[in-house]
Amino acid sequence: MSNNKKNWPLWEIFVRSKNGLEHRHFGSLHAADAEMALENARDVYTRRNEGVSIWVVESKNITASNPEQNGELFEPAQDKVYRHPTFYDLPDEVKHM
């Protein structure tokens, strides 16, 4: 058993600081399973009441975009200024719109 060693996998930790706010990525940690990841996350990331809810996701299950392809990925939004309210000309008499 000693030769075929298995390390605890890496987990990403998301914490909701208070109700009404979204869960936010806080960092990561190693744990044997999801339950232990939750308990470790409590001790590592919420020692001072920083949270009311914790999500843990095994890091290998996250698919991330590649920054080298940011051009192709985000380019389609760049020339669509008409998606912003300031694109439209309105007379000054129209207030609050």
Contacts with other proteins, residue ranges (CB under 8 A)? 1-2, 5-8, 10, 27-30, 32-33, 36, 43-44, 47-48, 64, 66-68
Q: Whose Cβ is closer to other proteins: residue 53's or residue 70's?
A: 70
Q: Whose Cβ is closer to other proteins: residue 64's or residue 94's?
A: 64
Least distance to other proteins, CB of residue 14, Å = 14
* Residue 10 and residue 28 in contact, taking contact as beta carbons nearer than 8 Å: yes
DSSP 76: G
